[in-house]
Amino acid sequence: MARVENTPVSADQSGRLEKCERRIGYEFQDKSLLMAALTHASGALHRLASNERLEFLGDAILGAVVCELLYNQYPDYLEGDLTKIKSVVVSRQTCAKVSEALGLQEFLVLGKGMITYPTVPPSLLADVFESLIAAIYLDTGDPGARDFIQRFIGPEIELAAAGELGGNYKSLLQQLAQRENGSTPTYHLLDEKGPDHSKCFKIAAQIGRSRFQGAWGRNKKEAEQRAARNALSELNGEPAPFPSD
Contact yes or no for 24/132 (Cβ under 8 A):
yes
Among residues of the chain, what percentage have pLDDT more than 70? 86
- pLDDT recorded at residue 191: 95
Whether the pLDDT of residue 43 is over 60: the answer is: no
Under DSSP, the state recorded for 27 is -
Residue of 59, 127, 139, 156 marked active site: 59
Overall average pLDDT of the 89-94 stretch: 92
Active site residue 59: yes
Give the whole-angstrom CA distance, residue 157 versus residue 88. 8
Q: Compute CA distances 132 → 22, 59, 68, 150, 176, whole Å.
A: 14, 10, 20, 14, 39
Tens of pLDDT, residue by residue over 137-183, are 999 999 999 999 999 998 888 878 776 555 578 888 888 888 888 88
Predicted confidence band of residue 89 (pLDDT cuts 50, 70, 90): very high
**Does residue 221 register a pLDDT over 90?**
no
- Mean pLDDT score, 47-66: 88
Report pTM.
0.64
Q: What percent of the chain has pLDDT over 90?
A: 47
All CATH 3.30.160.20 domain ranges of the chain, comma separated, are: 169-235
Architecture of domain 169-235: 2-Layer Sandwich (3.30)
pLDDT tens, position by position, 22-33: 999 999 999 999
- Structure confidence by residue, pLDDT tens digits, 92-120: 999 998 999 899 988 888 776 555 455 77
Q: What pLDDT shows up at residue 118?
A: 54
Q: Quote the pLDDT of residue 163.
A: 65
Residue 68 known to be catalytic: no
Q: What is the pLDDT of residues 197-209, one digit of tens each?
A: 778 999 999 999 9
Q: Quick one: which of 133, 152, 143 has its CA closest to 61?
A: 133
What is the rounded radius of gyration, in angstroms, for the C-alpha atoms of the chain? 24
Average pLDDT, the chain: 85
What pLDDT is attached to residue 7? Answer: 52
In whole angstroms, give the CA distance from residue 222 to residue 228.
10
Q: Where in the chain is the domain with CATH 1.10.1520.10?
A: 11-165
Give the CATH superfamily of 11-165. Answer: Ribonuclease III domain (1.10.1520.10)
Q: Which of 81, 127, 130, 156 is catalytic?
A: 130
What CA–CA distance (Å, rounded) separates 186 from 208?
A: 8
The whole-number pLDDT of residue 14 equals: 79
- Residue 116 is predicted with a pLDDT of 47
